[in-house]
Amino acid sequence: MSTESIGVIGAGIVGLAVARRITELFPGSAVTVLEKEDRVGAHQTGHNSGVVHAGLYYPPGSLKATLCRRGVGLLQEYCQEKGLPYDECGKLVVAIDDDERPALERIRERATANGVPDLRWLGADELREIEPHGAGVAALHSPRTAITDFVRVAEAYADDVRAVGGVIRLGFRVTGIRQVAGRVEVRSAREALRFDRLVVCAGLQSDVVATWAGDDPGPAIVPFRGEYYRLKPERTHLVRGLIYPVPNPEYPFLGVHFTKRVSGGVDLGPNAVLAFAREGYTRTTFDRHDLAATLRWPGFRRLARRHWRMGVAEMAGSLSTTLYLRFARRYVPEVSAADVERAPSGVRAQAVDRDGGLVDDFRISRLGDVLAVRNAPSPAATSSLAIAEHITGHLQDHVRPL
Ligand SMILES: Cc1cc2nc3c(=O)[nH]c(=O)nc-3n(C[C@H](O)[C@H](O)[C@H](O)COP(=O)(O)OP(=O)(O)OC[C@H]3O[C@@H](n4cnc5c(N)ncnc54)[C@H](O)[C@@H]3O)c2cc1C
């Protein structure tokens, strides 16, 4: 047992899962979660597709693959125990023509290597037995892929932390970090707190906060807004579960998909357009510091030079419902502009290395007594309980026994 005090910055699903796991592993420790917003799950955790990914795409052996597979099992058990929504509605990854079959075959190989259960390869007719309004020549069916409500999951983690004496301080905006005499000082505008250890899970601000603790500026977060449409209630019968395209390996996070929600609705999206503010949920939200930081980052300039055509196409789709739907209609041809309305957007924290490379895997850095999550994109919500085990495993080496 330890009497250490451990701080966690960020009450998103990752920070709360970490705090919860700390209370399990180090029962005597004092855990405090610091969150700048007035509620938990206010950013990525509260603005996503709500899909519990089964682990189809990730390179075998990567953190994403191993933590996703472990995370799904833990999350399913957790949702059952707490009575939280968990609907195994299943997912189709669809090859729209014969050219896409080899890429779909590679996904099947990866998914099999990752241990995704109950996969089936479907021909066009079988595909339509599962999604009668769907199109495509073949599909990979993952019947165990599920949907949930990640904000409710995060709230439940927060309740677990509070139930054993942990503290969640909402409205606490961290403005600085200093490592002094074997302790870590965390400042807000009004006060300074000291901890023995600190874990940074700051999502869209993860690079900024990590550099306060002495970490490198890279990878920097480049915010990409993901815009959604929602099928009007009278058209939700067009989609029964989850319909995904075969991802382009160069842009694995691109590709509008159809997503059933636990509320019963069906969303289309997200696309990916550069956001002019890290927490900018509308096209007109603009933060000159955030935008200047993005434009200054050499990795962003390299990324933009390499991929500007894709960027322009995504922007065009953002401005025009017809263009947006052109892609989606390849998968569900009956969907028209009259069937959809705009739904709330999310912003992805896309970590970009100095050389312009998109950081694909989860990334965590250690700086003395501070651990910083530098990249926790999808499927981090799915994997949150496993990410927490992974991170606290690092802490465990360092927590001093009494
Ligand atoms: C459009 C979109 C769709 C997605 N779809 C899925 C999906 O279907 N399935 C899936 O598994 N994953 C999905 N993801 C990814 C998933 O949402 C994220 O990986 C996950 O929510 C990351 O959680 P987090 O706790 O790291 O970050 P966040 O939820 O962003 O939390 C970070 C927290 O840190 C706080 N913070 C930041 N700076 C400070 C500071 N200075 N002081 C105090 N607090 C601070 C923020 O306010 C925030 O609450 C999606 C993401 C997006 C954007």
Tens-place pLDDT, residues 297-345: 999 999 888 887 778 777 777 777 888 898 899 999 999 999 999 999 9
| Residues of the chain by 3-state class (helix, strand, coil), percent to 5 | 35, 25, 40
Q: Give distance in angstroms: CA of 150 to centre of ligand 1.
A: 10
Tell me the CB-side half-sphere exposure of residue 316, using CA atoms within 13 A: 11
CA distances from 42 to 15, 150, 177, 265, 390 (A): 12, 11, 22, 21, 24
Q: Establish whether residue 48 lines the binding site of ligand 1, counting it when its CB lies within 6 angstroms of any ligand atom.
A: yes
Q: Establish whether residue 350 lines the binding site of ligand 1, counting it when its CB lies within 6 angstroms of any ligand atom.
A: no
Q: Give distance in angstroms: CA of 316 to centre of ligand 1.
A: 26
- Can you give the pLDDT at residue 398? 57
At 400, list the tokens: 């001093």
What's the mean per-residue pLDDT of the chain? 93
Asked if residue 69 lies in contact with residue 39, where contact means CB atoms within 8 angstroms, the answer is no
- Can you give the pLDDT at residue 400? 46
Nearest CA to ligand 1 atom 10: 379
Q: Establish whether residue 75 lines the binding site of ligand 1, counting it when its CB lies within 6 angstroms of any ligand atom.
A: no
Asked if residue 136 lies in contact with residue 123, where contact means CB atoms within 8 angstroms, the answer is no
The amino acid at residue 29 is S
- Can you give the pLDDT at residue 401? 40
DSSP state of 393: H
At 27, list the tokens: 């029962």
Cα dihedral: 287, 319, 269, 148 (round 10): 50
Q: How many other CB atoms sit within 10 Å of the CB of residue 344?
A: 12
What is the enclosing helix (H) or strand (E) of 372?
A: strand 370-375
Residues of the chain scoring pLDDT < 50: 1-2, 400-402
Residue owning tokens 């100095």? 354
- Whole-angstrom Cα distance, residue 293 to residue 102? 40
The pTM assigned to this predicted structure is 0.96
Q: Establish whether residue 255 lines the binding site of ligand 1, counting it when its CB lies within 6 angstroms of any ligand atom.
A: no
- Whole-angstrom Cα distance, residue 177 to residue 193? 10
At 122, list the tokens: 């479907």
Of the candidates 357, 350, 389, the residue with the CA atom closest to the CA atom of residue 225: 350
End-to-end CA distance of the chain: 7
Q: Establish whether residue 253 lines the binding site of ligand 1, counting it when its CB lies within 6 angstroms of any ligand atom.
A: no
Q: Establish whether residue 199 lines the binding site of ligand 1, counting it when its CB lies within 6 angstroms of any ligand atom.
A: no
Q: Give distance in angstroms: CA of 1 to centre of ligand 1.
A: 31
Q: Establish whether residue 392 lines the binding site of ligand 1, counting it when its CB lies within 6 angstroms of any ligand atom.
A: no
Residues 226-263 as b or e (16 or more Cβ within 10 Å = b): bbbbbbeeebbebbbbbbbbbbeeeeebbbbbbbbbbe
Q: Give distance in angstroms: CA of 101 to centre of ligand 1.
A: 33
Q: Give distance in angstroms: CA of 280 to centre of ligand 1.
A: 13
- The residue to mutate among 9, 39, 47, 48, having the most atoms of ligand 1 within 8 angstroms of its beta carbon, is 48
Helices (H), 120-179: 124-130, 150-163
Q: Give distance in angstroms: CA of 344 to centre of ligand 1.
A: 15
Q: Give distance in angstroms: CA of 345 to centre of ligand 1.
A: 13
- Whole-angstrom Cα distance, residue 247 to residue 57? 9
Q: Which atom of ligand 1 is nearest to the CA of 13?
A: 25
- Whole-angstrom Cα distance, residue 293 to residue 232? 38
Tell me the CB-side half-sphere exposure of residue 171, using CA atoms within 13 A: 2
Nearest CA to ligand 1 atom 2: 48
Axis-axis angle for helices 298-319, 321-328 (nearest 10): 100
